[in-house]
Amino acid sequence: MDKLAINGGPKLIKEKLRPYNSIGLEEIEAVKRTIESGVLSKYLGCWDDDFFGGTKVQEFEENCKDFFGVEYAITVNSWTSGLIAAVGAIGVEPGDEIIVSPWTMCASATAIIHWNAIPVFADIKRENFCIDPASIEKLINKRTKAIMAVDIFGQSADMNEIMELADKYNLKVISDSAQAPGALYRGKYTGTLAHIGGYSLNYHKHIHTGEGGVLVTNDSNLANKMRLIRNHAEAVVGNKGESDLTNMVGYNFRLGEIECAIGIEQLKKLKKIVENRTEIANRIIQSLSDLKGVYIPKVDINKTHVYYILPIILDVNTIGVTRAKIVAALAAEGLQGVIEGYANLHLLPMYQNKIAYGSKGFPWKSEYCRSDVDYTKGICPIAEKLHNEEFMGIEICRHELNDHDVELVISAFKKVWSNLDYL
């Protein structure tokens, strides 16, 4: 039995894993043609035929519409921009509340704050790390405007139950499917079951354009509002003849022709990429399933998982070693892309101090907001325990893993588990 590298033994993985790269000759040629055309952007921030962007923007949006099976697809320059546009489009008012998961990237909640609305954090389910419908319902009140369901790590939240709550309480639902493009829920793509959904095109996602995002919806009114917010709404609404000026504060959230040319080619690869990531994850899961104290949550029969991250829960009492020591031992063996904990947004300084715009506590300490919005430690016990003690993830999308690399990942885990008594 080899001595652990952390204890002075030989390092198992001696070379860095190759960074994930889904860009190929197809994208290079597409970019070259776009540059040679001389049209790198064709947007105008006024009511004009070019309000909708150039040919590549519109082609990519049509392709996304067809692929995901929706009526409308709108590209944006980042998924953060997409979330801001989505929250604005549903007509949120200052002081309105949107229930969201704490177990997500900060933009999910910051997009709510952007409109002077209030994020309210519901706990997650241990089984899938997604927002818990039972926790959501306990938080619904007369100020609640919407639910933001985050399809974390690559699988869908429990959308049937969430949409039932939305119908019961007359709420809108936004699906933050940034990490789950191509995942299915009851045969439909994540992001398409909510009133608004969408995906990130950031560089380390399944498919990417460097930066970017895609919004999807079947609601023509919401699509119109998101396009307006994307492209200088306040300068457009007059000549366009819009009568509802709610949240018609516009931005330059536009994705350019080069990025959309890349996106057209990337979308063609999505199914194959998902198959590859799923195959890699399943091989690792099968090999680690017998390790003491390792629990890898099962995927619901009605869902598929695209494994942006392969999630692992550690029973540290059974293992007899802290998570920090295990992560350090794996890192010493040369394993990259292992994360310790994930996120508890409600414990970020902004929410603990209730300070966002200016220094006086706006919007929380304003006439628009109820005074007892709770962000204290303990409100999301499952998310907090997972983050502090139990959760460890393998960033499947960070590296280009071949068969040999996968075996090295598995071997690193087995080596560490064979030496737990020495940690």
> What CA–CA distance (Å, rounded) separates 198 from 215?
4
Mean pLDDT of all residues in 417-422: 94
Element (H, E) at 352: helix 349-353
> What CA–CA distance (Å, rounded) separates 4 from 115?
51
pLDDT tens-digit map of 73-89: 999 999 999 999 999 99
* Pair 332, 197 in one domain: no
Answer yes or no: is 357 within a domain: no
* Pair 138, 281 in one domain: no
List 214's β-bridge partners, or say none.
75, 199
| Residue 338 three-state SS | strand
* Pair 303, 240 in one domain: no
DSSP per position, 370-392: -TT----TTSSHHHHHIIIIIEE
- CB 323 within 8 Å of CB 380: no
Residue 371 pLDDT greater than 90, yes or no: no
* Pair 78, 219 in one domain: yes
Instruction: Please give the share of the chain, as a percent, with pLDDT higher than 70.
Output: 100
Q: Which domain holds residue 321?
A: 5-21+270-341+384-422
* Pair 308, 330 in one domain: yes
Task: List the CATH number of the domain containing 417.
Answer: 3.90.1150.10
pTM recorded for the entire structure: 0.97
pLDDT tens-digit map of 221-256: 999 999 999 999 999 999 999 999 999 999 999 999
pLDDT tens-digit map of 14-23: 999 999 999 9
* Pair 321, 252 in one domain: no
Q: Residue 339, Cβ neighbours under 10 Å: how many?
A: 15
pLDDT tens-digit map of 102-155: 999 999 999 999 999 999 999 999 999 999 999 999 999 999 999 999 999 999
* Pair 184, 78 in one domain: yes
* Pair 238, 292 in one domain: no
Answer yes or no: is 352 within a domain: no
DSSP per position, 119-140: EEEPPB-TTTSSBPHHHHHHH-
Give first-to-last CA distance, the chain, whole Å.
14
Answer yes or no: is 365 within a domain: no
Answer yes or no: is 86 within a domain: yes
> What CA–CA distance (Å, rounded) separates 96 from 116?
8
E strand spans, 83-191: 97-100, 118-121, 144-150, 172-176, 184-185, 188-189
* Pair 152, 197 in one domain: yes
Answer yes or no: is 350 within a domain: no
Round the average pLDDT of the chain to a whole number and report it: 97
Answer yes or no: is 400 within a domain: yes
* Pair 278, 400 in one domain: yes
Contacts of 48 (CB under 8 A, 6+ apart): none
**Cis ω on the peptide bond leading into residue 102 (within 30° of 0)?**
no
Domain count, the chain: 2
Residue 2 pLDDT greater than 90, yes or no: no
Task: List the CATH number of the domain containing 198.
Answer: 3.40.640.10
The pLDDT assigned to 391 comes to 98
- CB 115 within 8 Å of CB 88: yes
**With bands split at pLDDT 50, 70 and 90, how would you rate the model's confidence at 374?**
very high
> What CA–CA distance (Å, rounded) separates 368 from 332?
52
- CB 127 within 8 Å of CB 141: no
Answer yes or no: is 46 within a domain: yes
- CB 76 within 8 Å of CB 254: yes
The pLDDT assigned to 255 comes to 98
* Pair 176, 128 in one domain: yes
Which one of 244, 266, 288 terminates a domain?
266
In one letter, which amino acid is 201?
Answer: L
Which one of 266, 298, 314 terminates a domain?
266
Contacts of 31 (CB under 8 A, 6+ apart): 258, 261, 262
* Pair 179, 206 in one domain: yes
Which one of 236, 266, 296 terminates a domain?
266
Q: What's the alpha-carbon Rg for the chain, to the nearest Å?
A: 22
Report residue 193 as tokens.
């079951």
The pLDDT assigned to 1 comes to 59
Answer yes or no: is 293 within a domain: yes
Instruction: Please give the share of the chain, as a percent, with pLDDT higher than 90.
Output: 98
* Phi–psi pair at 322, nearest 5 degrees: -70, 155
Report residue 391 as tokens.
């959760």
pLDDT tens-digit map of 42-68: 999 999 999 999 999 999 999 999 999
